[in-house]
Amino acid sequence: MSATPLQGHEAVLNVIRTRRAVRNFTPEPVSADLVRRVIDAGRWASSASNRRLHRFLVVRDPVRLRLTKSLSPGLRANPPALIVICTDLDRAEREGVRIEKDATTWIDVGTAAMNMMNAAHALGLGTCPVTAFSRSGLRVIFDLPPTVRAELILMLGHPAKATGKAPGTIVERINLDDVIDWEYPGGVEEG
């Protein structure tokens, strides 16, 4: 018996509501199978004009993890794995994308990251995005070809016990009706 659309919606919404940025990880490695499942969710993210410009670099080597941390002020934790979302510049050129002027490439990075963060949470893993890092430093550490550019680092691992709110605790959010405007002017509510 399959779930009804409403049950499916509630399951997805529960993952979205309970996912948190995780900055404390256990040293337990993340299996290749789990990493692949997380990246598969990124692969299914929306992409402007369905261009699919991204590559996903998996980092689990302890030496490279330490080196990456030394070049990434935003990486304050010690995750057992990183997924670096990169842009394939050759593919972008073939698709006619002006990479420095097309904001959709950043939106695509964000949708891929969010899909992966939600998938990781559903698998019992924790994630946290990192945007403060040295691109040139990562190029050297990972021996990236000039046609691949690092855009975002996603920390990935098994969450350690938190000292604050329990992982998955639903935090009070702004009321839904306080953030919806139904067509301007006048704010006529749809029924």
Backbone angles phi, psi at 163, to 5 degrees: -90, -15
Per-residue tokens: 150: 């690092």
pLDDT at res. 46: 78
More confident residue, 13 or 2: 13
User: Quick check: 4 pLDDT over 90?
Assistant: no
Calculate what percentage of the chain has a pLDDT beyond 70: 88
More confident residue, 162 or 20: 20
User: Quick check: 186 pLDDT over 60?
Assistant: no
Q: Are 72 and 130 in contact (CB under 8 A)?
A: yes
Over range 37-42, report the average pLDDT: 96
Place of tokens 């996912």: 19
| CA–CA dist 136, 152 (Å, integer) | 13
pLDDT at res. 87: 92
Over range 130-135, report the average pLDDT: 96
CA dist 82 → 56, 60, 129, 155 (Å): 10, 7, 10, 5
pTM: 0.84
For the chain, the first-to-last Cα distance in angstroms comes to 32
- Which helix (H) or strand (E) segment holds residue 149: the answer is strand 148-157
| CA–CA dist 114, 42 (Å, integer) | 8
User: Quick check: 37 pLDDT over 80?
Assistant: yes
pLDDT at res. 7: 80
Residue 175 pLDDT grade (very low, low, confident, very high; cuts 50, 70, 90): confident
| CA–CA dist 99, 161 (Å, integer) | 40
pLDDT at res. 189: 57
Residue-averaged pLDDT of the chain: 87
Residue 149 pLDDT grade (very low, low, confident, very high; cuts 50, 70, 90): very high
Backbone angles phi, psi at 145, to 5 degrees: -70, 160
Over range 164-178, report the average pLDDT: 66
Backbone angles phi, psi at 150, to 5 degrees: -70, 135
3 state SS of 51? coil
Instruction: Express each pLDDT in 7-35 by its tens digit.
Output: 888 888 878 787 898 999 999 999 999 99
More confident residue, 83 or 92: 83
pLDDT at res. 163: 57
